[in-house]
Structure 1
Amino acid sequence: MGLLALKMLMSRRRDSKHLCGQIQARNRLVTSVVKRKISSCQHNNNQGCKRVAFSGADLPEDIWRHIHSLLPLRDAARVACVSHAFLRSWKCHPNLSFTRKALGLNRIPRQSDVIARDLTMKVDHILKKHSGKGVKKFRIELHMPVDPCYLNSWLQIAAELRVEELAVVLPSTCNANDYDFPCALFVDDGCRNAIEHLCLGGCAFHPTAGFGYLRKLRLFWVHITVDELECLISKSPALEHLALKYCYTITYLKIPSLLQHLSYLMVAACANLQTIECKAPNLSTFYFSGRQVELLFGCSVQVKTMEMRCSTQCNTIYNACANLPSIVPNIETLSISSVSEVVNIPIVPVKFLHLKYLSISLEGNGAFSPDYDYFSLVSLLDACPVLETFNLFVSQDRMKHDSVLGDPSSRLRQMPEYRHDNIKNVRIIGFCSAKSMVELACHILENATSLECLTLDTIRAFSIDRHIHKTGECGHIGRHMIREARKALLAVKRYIVGIVPSTVKLNVLQPCKLCHALAA
Structure 2
Amino acid sequence: MQDAINWDHKQKRAKSNNEKNCEDLINQLPNGIPGAILSKLPINEAAKTSILSRKWRYMWTFYSGTLEFDGSPVMKDMKKDLKRVRGRHLQMAMETMFDAERQTYINWTNELLSSLKSPTLQGLKFWFHVGKGYNVDKWVQFAIQKKVQKLELYFGQAFEYVLPLQMFKLAGFNSLRVLRLRSVAVTKEMLEYLLCCCPLLETLSLISSEVPETMKVIDQSLKLKCLELVKCWNPASLEIFAENLVSFKYFGPCLDIKFKSVPRLEEATFRGALETFVRLSFLPQIKMLKLDITENAPEEIYWLHQLPDLNNLKHLELVVCIDDDSTLSDCVLLLKAMPSLWRFTLKMQNTKPTFRTERKLTVESEYSIKELELVGFCGAGCEVELAMFLVQSSVELQKITIDTRLPTEPKLKHFQTWHHEENRKRALKLQEKILPGVEFVCL
Q: TM-score scaled by structure 2?
A: 0.71
Shift of 1:348: 5.8
Specify the structure having the higher radius of gyration (Cα): 1
The structure-2 alpha-carbon separation of the partners of 1:86 and 1:272, relative to structure 1 and needing over 3 Å to count, comes to: same
From 65, 74, 87, the equivalent of 2:44 is: 74
TM-aligned CA distance change 1:294 to 1:441, over 3 Å: same
User: Aligned to 1:243, what secondary structure does the other structure show?
Assistant: strand
Instruction: Give 2:298's aligned residue.
Output: 342
Alpha-carbon shift at residue 423 of structure 1 (Å): 1.4
**Residues 40, 65 of structure 2: 8 Å contact kept:** no
Equivalent residue for 1:353?
311
What residue in structure 1 maps to residue 120 of structure 2?
Answer: 135
Please name the residue that 1:423 is paired with. 369
In structure 1, stretches of 5+ residues that fail to align are 1-28, 38-52, 198-214, 406-411, 466-473, 510-520
How far the C-alpha of 1:263 sits from its partner, in A, is 1.0
- Give TM-score, length-normalised by structure 1: 0.62
Conserved? CA contact 1:252–1:275, under 8 Å: yes
Q: CA offsets, 1:403-462, max 9 Å, x none? A: 238xxxxxx44244x222x21112344365546x655444433432211123456x4657
Q: Is the 8 A contact 2:132 2:158 kept in 1?
A: no
Question: 2:394 — aligned with what?
Answer: 448
**C-alpha distance in structure 1 between counterparts of 2:121 and 2:58, whole Å:** 17
Contact 2:213 2:235 in 1 (8 A): yes
Distance across 2 between alignment mates of 1:501 and 1:170? 50
CA distance in 2, matches of 1:432, 1:224: 46
Q: RMSD between aligned alpha carbons?
A: 4.5
SS at match of 1:287: strand
Q: Secondary structure at the match of 1:85?
A: coil
Change (3 A) 1:308 1:116: closer
Judging changes above 3 Å, is the alpha-carbon distance between structure 1 residues 294 and 400 closer, same or farther for their aligned structure 2 residues? farther
Which residue of the partner structure matches residue 414 of structure 1? 362
Cα offset for 1:332? 0.6
Contact 1:55 1:84 in 2 (8 A): no
Change (3 A) 1:105 1:453: closer
Contact 1:116–1:146 under 8 Å retained in 2? no
Q: What is the CA–CA distance in structure 2 between the aligned matches of 1:308 and 1:486, rounded to whole Å?
A: 33
Deviations 1:120-142 (A, max 9, x none): 76566556655x44432474736
Identity %: 19
Question: Does structure 1 residue 393 correspond to structure 2 residue 347?
Answer: yes
Q: Closer, same or farther in 2 for the Cα pair 1:234/1:413, shift >3 Å?
A: same
Task: Provide the residue aligned with 1:196 in structure 2.
Answer: 175
Equivalent residues of 2:179, 2:203 under 8 A apart: yes
Is the contact made by 1:224 and 1:250 (CA closer than 8 Å) also made in structure 2? yes
Counterpart contact for 1:239–1:259, Cα < 8 Å: no
SS at match of 1:404: coil
Whether contact under 8 Å (1:350, 1:383) holds in the other structure is yes
For residues 196 and 218 of structure 1, the distance between their equivalents in structure 2, rounded to whole angstroms, comes to 15
The letter of the residue matching 1:269 is K
Unaligned runs of 5+ in 2: 1-14, 79-93
1:172 aligns with 2:191: no
The answer to whether 1:304 aligns with 2:266 is yes
SS at match of 2:284: coil
Q: How far did 1:261 drift?
A: 1.5
* Structural mapping, 1:79-478, within 5 Å: 79-80=49-50, 83-95=53-65, 97=67, 99=69, 110=96, 130=116, 132-137=117-122, 139=124, 141=126, 143-145=129-131, 161-165=145-149, 167=151, 169=153, 171-177=155-161, 182-187=164-169, 192-197=171-176, 215-310=177-272, 316=274, 320=277, 322-324=278-280, 326-339=281-294, 340-343=296-299, 350-363=308-321, 368-370=323-325, 372-398=326-352, 402-404=356-358, 412-416=360-364, 418-420=365-367, 422-429=368-375, 430=377, 432=379, 434=381, 440-455=386-401, 459=404, 461=406, 463=408, 476-477=417-418
> CA separation of 1:140/1:76 partners in 2, compared to 1, >3 Å: closer, same or farther?
same
Match of 1:503?
437
Structure 1, residues 208-232: CA drift from partner, whole Å, max 9, x if none?
xxxxxxx322222112233542343
* Secondary structure, counterpart of 2:56 in structure 1: helix
Residue 357 of structure 1: CA displacement? Answer: 0.6
Partners of 2:137 and 2:266 lie apart in 1 by: 41
Contact 1:250 1:270 in 2 (8 A): no
Q: How many residues align?
A: 401
**Cα shift at 1:84:** 1.6
- CA drift of 1:486 comes to 7.9
